Amino acid sequence: MTAPRATTKKRVPRIRENLPAPSSPEGELFHYTPYEAAPWTPFSGRKLSALIAAREIEYTFNGRDNYLTGRQIAALNERYTVKPFSKPAHATAA
């Protein structure tokens, strides 16, 4: 007789349906989980969770869970957006 095999269950994050976009008036103050916010950010849900755990980004804590509001998602996108380089107007050609 052999020992029973351990079964591993993957924890799949639950994502709610019909979420408002963070840029919409309803989404500005809506609370998104890191996995729900991931499609609107340059990061995955796991990376957002890690950034929140390390306190590297602004987030909302309700006593049990961590959330990102639409405003925080917009600020996060602004923070990690790379602006194109443009030469100053007074620069001369060499």
**pLDDT score at 93:** 60
Do residues 68 and 60 make contact, with C-beta atoms less than 8 angstroms apart?
Answer: yes
Each residue's pLDDT, cut to its tens digit, for the chain (94 residues) gives: 777 777 777 777 888 899 999 999 999 999 999 999 999 999 999 999 999 999 999 999 999 999 999 999 999 999 999 888 887 777 666 5
Decide: 66 and 34 in contact? Cβ < 8 Å: yes
Question: For the chain, how many residues are written?
Answer: 94
The pLDDT assigned to 94 comes to 56
| Residue 23 confidence (pLDDT) | 92
Whether the CB-CB separation of 49 and 42 falls below 8 Å is answered with: no
